[in-house]
Amino acid sequence: MRELLKLNITKHIDLSESETEAFCNLFQPKRIEKKQFLLREGEVCKFEGFVVKGLFRVYHIDNKGFEQILYFALENWWITDIDSFTNEKPSQLFIEALEDSEVLLISKREKEFAYTQLPKIEKLFRVMTQKTHVALQRRMIDNLSKTADQRYIDFIEKYPQLFQRLTNLQIAAYLGISHEFLSKIRRKIANKKEDELDY
């Protein structure tokens, strides 16, 4: 299970083989069945996770009972509630497996231990945090400046491997639109393609 994690680490920082092994050994493997939760709202998130196999959704339920998906995480992605994990406060999020999944989890204590014993690890998490901030900022700008049609097209172009594994309901919740509105967008795109082919 740790081979994918090792490859992910080497993309960001240079560690010796012994350092990589020592860091990876701080992670605990966990198998999660489809529809099981890695985290529920109200719980304190005690892990940062690396997805080895499967697919997760990270979502919040608003005051009206609507589900708002922050992001999906599939193989080779990291997953956590950074606010709850960092500040040790109850989470506002749910992390649910959409497929039978396998993750590697590191606790806050083990992460702090890695910082003291393997100083380069701090750079790894700094780089990942920066990438997460960039992705969230881009998504916020897209939500403010692009139409739902544009956001849907961007999503399927940017994440084709993810798109194939999701239901229309899940994609709609990620885009912040209703399932019915997503169906209209898909029909509009399909009709446009048919018109182009006819032309």
Report pLDDT digits (tens) over 44-76.
Answer: 999 999 999 999 999 999 998 889 999 999 999
pLDDT of residue 119: 87
pLDDT of residue 199: 53
Q: What is the mean pLDDT of residues 102-117?
A: 95
Pick the residue with more confidence: 119 or 36? Answer: 36
Q: Which fold has domain 2-118?
A: Jelly Rolls (2.60.120)
pLDDT at 163: 86
Q: What is the pLDDT of residue 161?
A: 85
Average confidence score pLDDT of the chain: 92
pLDDT at position 91 is 98
- Find tokens 């690890």 and name the residue: 121
Specify the pTM. Answer: 0.89
Section 154-165 average pLDDT: 90
Q: What is the pLDDT of residues 27-44, one digit of tens each?
A: 999 999 999 999 999 999
pLDDT tens-digit readout, 173-197: 999 899 899 999 999 888 877 666 5
The segment with the largest mean pLDDT, out of 8-12, 106-110, 133-137, 164-168, is 106-110
- Tens digit of each residue's pLDDT (9 = 90 or more) over 81-94: 999 999 999 999 99
pLDDT at 190: 83
Q: pLDDT digits over 131-150, tens only?
A: 888 988 999 999 999 999 99
